[in-house]
């Protein structure tokens, strides 16, 4: 049973308000590609503005799949979106790296490749991601090319494509065709993260990216970052109604472009801090919006995206831990199918931390274990074992215990359970130190997943040619 914070009447009223916004106010799509799609299907336009009726909305949503497989080049690592189990993906969009000493710097391509290796190695990241932290030692227009290539080569998990520009979309889709060949035509092997330009608009690049990804049969995660009190109404209900209209318009465009396009309906909206005007992604309001959003997604019958282990803290400290756990656990409890920013983000999206990447992956493991209920059957009820031990005994030496001692419980990799005296004798190491040691060890021992030599040469040649 999912956590629900809104009544069915609340959902109905939000939907009705969203429909009034869609049909009377409209959403801007300043792209000839997008506008021509809308116009071919009888959707009213006025310049760049699009007005969608409720009938047009429901007709478009009929073709959207309720779940789909996000295919990896290693089939064993493909992920199903919408089936109930949350799919975790790392942080997205940070311009800086923060190290264990608290130093901020712009990452390099080498840094980015190591982040991909870490995403590949961490056990609870189902997707290797994209735009983990933007490398600054290559030109901005070709940085997406280097990032997509790193995900293809250093991981065999599913990866997210680039939507930064029309060039970045072309690079992503052409590299993907090299990697997957003709098989990408009828299955989602990459996903584009579409961010609206709140309020009630999409940029030309995002509008075009929706059309291009849909034409290629690839997935789209349509989401926004509305800020209550700034780019959205200060009331959470008003923000939900407005952003719902915004996101639905993007999804309609995807389905009109190519019926059956896999779409994920998402949000990471929150409030601003009214004292400073800054974004507050560690707030309880972010968790509330995420939970309410999951109810709206179920109303429309779509796969859902939730925000993840987010924090306003500038270092992986206690604040980062409590805010990240609250955000992640709330959206998973509310039924999120896909969680972007599941690990690594600090400082209100401004920084990526390798130490926090490791710590958040452990949070993902805790949350995943919490959501797998205990099995209750004759074997697990252990009546015969209880009879055998009887009053006053213990279960340590029972075969039933030995057979399960390595598999029954979730075990941490970084959290400390050694005890007070052992911790003191070891020099009182803190959790950030242990996290740094873990990510360094994972990167140092990472083995690049095998890739056939012809494909590897073609990918490398394409990047070298396009990067100039």
The sign of the dihedral angle between the CA atoms of 177, 178, 183, 188 is negative
Taking only the tens place, the pLDDT of each residue in 158-182 is 999 999 999 999 999 999 999 999 8
Taking only the tens place, the pLDDT of each residue in 209-222 is 999 999 999 999 99
Q: What is the pLDDT of residue 185?
A: 83
Taking only the tens place, the pLDDT of each residue in 9-34 is 999 999 999 999 999 999 999 999 99
- Cβ contact 172:144 at 8 Å: yes
Q: What is the pLDDT of residue 308?
A: 93
Q: What is the pLDDT of residue 3?
A: 85
Backbone angles phi, psi at 413, to 5 degrees: -100, -25
**Percent of all residues in the chain with a pLDDT value above 70, rounded to a whole number:** 100
Q: What is the pLDDT of residue 441?
A: 98
Measured from the Cβ of residue 202, the count of other Cβ atoms closer than 10 Å reads 29
β-pairing, 219-223 with 263-266? Answer: parallel
Q: At what angle do helices 236-257 and 54-61 cross, to 10 degrees?
A: 60
Q: What is the pLDDT of residue 436?
A: 97
For residue 399, give every residue at least 6 positions away whose Cβ sits within 8 Å of its Cβ, in sequence order, or none. Answer: none
Q: What is the pLDDT of residue 468?
A: 82
**Rounded-to-integer distance, Cα 326 and Cα 318, Å:** 12
Backbone angles phi, psi at 235, to 5 degrees: -80, 140
DSSP output for 197-266: -SSSB--HHHHHHHHHHHHTT-EEEEE---EETTTB-SSHHHHHHHHHHHHHHHHHHHHHHSTT--EEEE
Taking only the tens place, the pLDDT of each residue in 410-465 is 999 999 999 999 999 999 999 999 999 999 999 999 999 999 999 999 999 999 99
Place of tokens 């200060």: 234
**Mean pLDDT of the region 78-92:** 96
- Cβ contact 111:133 at 8 Å: yes
**Percent of all residues in the chain with a pLDDT value above 90, rounded to a whole number:** 97
pLDDT over 90 at 305, yes or no: yes
- Cβ contact 359:308 at 8 Å: no
For residue 211, give every residue at least 6 positions away whose Cβ sits within 8 Å of its Cβ, in sequence order, or none. Answer: 31, 33, 34, 37, 253, 257
Coil, strand, or helix at residue 98?
strand
**Mean pLDDT of the region 137-149:** 97
Coil, strand, or helix at residue 369?
helix
Place of tokens 């990408």: 184
**Rounded-to-integer distance, Cα 266 and Cα 306, Å:** 6
Question: In the numeric block, which tokens belong to residue 276?
Answer: 């400073």
Q: What is the pLDDT of residue 1?
A: 72
pLDDT over 80 at 398, yes or no: yes
**Mean pLDDT of the region 148-160:** 98
Measured from the Cβ of residue 464, the count of other Cβ atoms closer than 10 Å reads 10
Q: What is the pLDDT of residue 382?
A: 97
């Amino acid at each position: 049973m999912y956590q629900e914070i809104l009544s069915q009447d609340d959902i109905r009223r939000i939907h009705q308000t969203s429909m009034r916004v869609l049909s009377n106010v409209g959403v801007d799509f300043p792209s000839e590609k997008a506008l021509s799609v809308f116009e071919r299907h009888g959707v009213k336009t006025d310049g760049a503005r699009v007005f969608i009726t409720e009938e047009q909305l429901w007709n478009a949503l009929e073709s959207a799949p309720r779940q789909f497989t996000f295919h990896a080049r290693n089939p064993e690592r493909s992920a199903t979106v919408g089936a109930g189990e949350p799919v975790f993906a790392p942080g997205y969009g940070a311009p800086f790296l923060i190290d264990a000493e608290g130093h901020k710097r712009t990452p390099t391509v080498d840094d980015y490749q190591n982040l991909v290796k870490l995403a590949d190695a961490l056990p609870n990241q189902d997707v290797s991601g994209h735009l983990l932290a933007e490398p600054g030692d290559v030109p901005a227009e070709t940085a997406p090319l280097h990032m997509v290539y790193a995900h293809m080569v250093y991981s065999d998990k599913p990866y997210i494509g680039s939507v930064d520009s029309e060039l970045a979309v072309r690079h992503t889709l052409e590299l993907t065709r090299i990697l997957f060949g003709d098989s990408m035509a009828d299955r989602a092997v990459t996903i584009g993260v579409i961010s609206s330009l709140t309020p009630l608009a999409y940029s030309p690049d995002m509008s075009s990216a929706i059309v291009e990804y849909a034409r290629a049969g690839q997935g789209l995660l349509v989401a926004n970052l509305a800020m209550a009190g700034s780019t959205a109404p200060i009331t959470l209900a008003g923000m939900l109604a407005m952003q719902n209209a915004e996101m639905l318009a993007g999804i309609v465009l995807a389905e009109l472009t190519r019926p059956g396009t896999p779409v994920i309906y998402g949000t990471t909206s929150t409030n601003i801090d009214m004292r400073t005007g800054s974004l507050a992604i560690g707030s309880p309001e972010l968790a509330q919006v995420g939970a309410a959003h999951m109810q709206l997604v179920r109303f429309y019958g779509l796969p859902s995206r939730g925000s993840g282990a987010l924090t306003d803290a500038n270092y992986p400290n206690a604040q980062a831990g409590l805010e990240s756990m609250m955000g992640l656990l709330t959206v998973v409890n509310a039924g999120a199918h896909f969680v972007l920013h599941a690990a690594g983000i600090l400082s209100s999206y401004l920084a990526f931390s390798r130490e926090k990447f490791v710590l958040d992956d452990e949070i993902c493991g805790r949350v995943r274990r919490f959501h797998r209920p205990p099995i209750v059957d004759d074997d697990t009820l252990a009546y015969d074992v209880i009879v055998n031990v009887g009053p006053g005994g213990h279960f340590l030496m029972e075969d039933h215990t030995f057979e399960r001692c390595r598999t029954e419980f979730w075990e941490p990799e970084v959290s400390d359970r050694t005890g007070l005296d052992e911790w003191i004798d070891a020099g009182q190491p803190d959790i950030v130190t242990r996290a740094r040691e873990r990510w360094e060890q994972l990167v140092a021992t990472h083995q690049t997943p095998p890739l056939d030599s012809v494909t590897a040469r073609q990918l490398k040649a394409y990047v070298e040619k396009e990067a100039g």
